[in-house]
Chain A
Amino acid sequence: MPEKPAGTLYRGREGMWSWVAHRVTGFLIFFFLLVHVLDTSLVRVSPEAYNVVIGAYKNPIMGLGEAGLVAAIVYHAFNGIRVMLVDFWSQGTRYQRVMLWVVVGLVVVTMAGFLPRHLSNIFGG
């Protein structure tokens, strides 16, 4: 047994980087989920408490954070479909690279639909 691994299983390219991005986005979404359940739970405290905290989500800096969060969710969702196609579709591994670029394209299209609306809500007051 060599002291250091002789090689690496990280292959780079689309396969590895899509997996890294899936992990990073999943990690971020999980922590937002914990915070989001806590802030929503304030409806059980009082209308005033909930409105104050949810008001913090409406300022422009948080608004940009929400745009990033939605982008992370959209990527995780579409790449999740890609993962399922790789697992369950007989041609999945063959087309995994091109499917990543389809995922990226769908993320861009979805965000192009979401961002104008959300940013005008955030910055338009």
Chain B
Amino acid sequence: MATTTPTGTLAAPRSARATRSRGSSRTNMEMVGWLFMRLSGVLLIVLIFGHLFVNLMVGEGINRIDFAFVGGKWADPFWQFWDLAMLWLAMIHGTNGMRTIINDYAERDRTRLVLKALLYLAFFVTVVLGTLVIFTFEPCPIGAPAELLPSFCPAP
């Protein structure tokens, strides 16, 4: 990769910025996306660092994580909301990042179309599944062994 090429050898831009065609929306979605990456990035730093600290640093760290641990966390609406915000923000932030990568490297129209279709499918499935799991989670399933359940579950 030639990194020493002086910039003077690059051709000058041949035209001013293309004027926007009539009928295109007045808001610039790429600018909204650019701004979203920065705003969500700040929130994600707080959300993910908090998530990693509570799940990997406190107490026994990762060895503590099991069904009862998750049940204990999601019994609290605070952690439900925390994880929901993390899920949505991270998925939108990550999907927009992947969209940028596809646009940069997939040169054929058809390749871009297929990759983006797969990306948006993965986004949809993951966000819907994750959201449903957070809100339909049953911490004390009937018939499960009591030693696997959170301590607040009634004795069978």
Contacts and interface: CB of A to CB of B under 8 A. Distances in A.
A12 B97 CA distance: 22
Contacts of B126: 33-34, 37-38
B155 interface: no
Interface residues of B, number: 51
Contact of A47 (B48, B49, B149): B149
Q: For A26, A41, A47, which residue has the most chain B Cβ atoms within 10 angstroms?
A: A47
Given A80-B41, A87-B38, A63 B62 contact: yes
Interface in A34-48: 34, 37-38, 40-41, 43-44, 46-48
Interface residues of A, number: 46
Given A41-B130, A118-B62, A77 B45 contact: yes
Contacts of A11: 3
Contacts of A38: 126, 129
B98 A84 contact: no
B70 A50 contact: yes
B94 A23 contact: no
Interface of A: 6-13, 16, 23, 26-27, 29-30, 33-34, 37-38, 40-41, 43-44, 46-48, 50-51, 54, 57-58, 63, 66, 70, 73, 77, 80-81, 83-84, 87-88, 114, 117-118, 121-122
17 contacts: A6-B10, A8-B3, A10-B3, A26-B97, A37-B129, A38-B126, A40-B133, A43-B70, A44-B133, A51-B66, A70-B56, A77-B49, A88-B38, A117-B61, A121-B62, A121-B63, A122-B62
